[in-house]
Amino acid sequence: MSLSQTKSNTSFIYIVALICLIAVAIFMFSKSDFFLVNNISTEGLNNVAEDEVAKLLGTVKGENIFLVDTGALAQKVKLHPLINDAVITKKYPGTLVIRIQERMPAALILNKDKMVEVDLQGVILRYYDTWPQKDSPVVTGIKVPETIGPGQKITSPGLEKCLRFIGQAPPDLIALFGEIHYGQDEQLFVYLTSGIEVKMGIGEDYDKKLKLLRELLASTEFKIMEKAIKYIDLTAGKPVLGR
């Protein structure tokens, strides 16, 4: 073997040894206290307290950030009935960032002696013994099974129809809804906060009727005679006023 070949082999061994030493150093550094989780940042919380999220996470602080399974942690956070989605990312060296999308209250179902708060998907958020501070349209004519609780979805064609109706209505119109009743004949009846009954009829898409109702309630002519109106019939599409 020539001298040049010997030097080449020796250099190769040195390079391999150096790479191994660097790899070991990086591995040891990644296992050091520098990469322990010491901070958890939450974003998007309005109705859920941070300590409730912390309880669902369990013991995370003090763990090596490289070993944290963010997907599994996110699934734990989503067990909260008021949380719709959660995404957890790592911010090195020791921070976990939790971005939360909360479920928003859409309606209150009058169920015997309790109020059941649900979102637009029909998922139960809370039970109330008294009227909640945050107001939502009251839905009647819907039965809530006694076997389900917060975080579970109510399977009911009638409730789906009511929630679809609420989802199609603009916020300023929803503010005027006192009660939405689902009748046995599958018709929807809306009782405005003014006491006027609105017959919405049967259907799946109420966009046009809601637009007509909004225009009617905002018109000068209606405001003049409003106190004399007992009901508004939108069953056939065109508003019919009853006194």
- Tell me the CATH number at 223: 3.40.50.10960
- Residue 40 — very low, low, confident or very high, per pLDDT cuts 50/70/90? very high
Q: Where are the beta strands (DSSP E) in 70-222?
A: 83-91, 95-102, 107-111, 114-118, 124-128, 138-140, 177-182, 188-192, 197-201
To the nearest 10°, the Cα dihedral for 220, 221, 227, 229? -130
Q: Which pLDDT score, from 0 to 100, does residue 9 have?
A: 55
Q: Which pLDDT score, from 0 to 100, does residue 101 have?
A: 96
Pick the residue with more confidence: 28 or 205? 205
Q: Which pLDDT score, from 0 to 100, does residue 26 have?
A: 46
Give 124's Cβ-side CA count (13 Å radius).
Answer: 23
pLDDT at 25 over 50: no
Say whether both 152 and 96 belong to one domain: no
Q: Which pLDDT score, from 0 to 100, does residue 204 have?
A: 73
* Number of domains forming the structure of the chain: 3
pLDDT at 240 over 50: yes
pLDDT at 6 over 80: no
Say whether both 123 and 228 belong to one domain: yes
Say whether both 59 and 172 belong to one domain: no
pTM here? 0.78
Q: Which pLDDT score, from 0 to 100, does residue 30 have?
A: 47
Extract the tokens encoding 131.
């009227």
Say whether both 55 and 121 belong to one domain: no
| Residue 56: CATH number of its domain | 3.10.20.310
Say whether both 98 and 114 belong to one domain: no
* Share of the chain residues as helix, strand and coil, in percent rounded to the nearest 5: 35, 25, 35
Q: Which pLDDT score, from 0 to 100, does residue 29 have?
A: 44
Which tens digit of pLDDT belongs to each residue from 60-96? 988 999 889 999 999 999 999 999 999 999 999 999 9
Please, are residues 180 and 165 in contact by the beta-carbon 8 Å criterion?
yes
Q: How far apart are CA 49 and CA 60, in angstroms?
A: 18
pLDDT at 158 over 80: yes
Q: Which pLDDT score, from 0 to 100, does residue 4 have?
A: 55
Q: Where are the beta strands (DSSP E) in the chain?
A: 39-43, 83-91, 95-102, 107-111, 114-118, 124-128, 138-140, 177-182, 188-192, 197-201, 231-233, 240-242
Say whether both 116 and 205 belong to one domain: yes
- Residue 2 — very low, low, confident or very high, per pLDDT cuts 50/70/90? low
∠ CA 200-166-133, rounded to 5°? 125
Q: How far is CA 145 from CA 20, 140, 150, in A?
A: 63, 14, 12
Range of the domain at 24: 1-30
In the chain, what is the straight-line distance between the N-terminal and C-terminal CA atoms, in Å?
Answer: 112
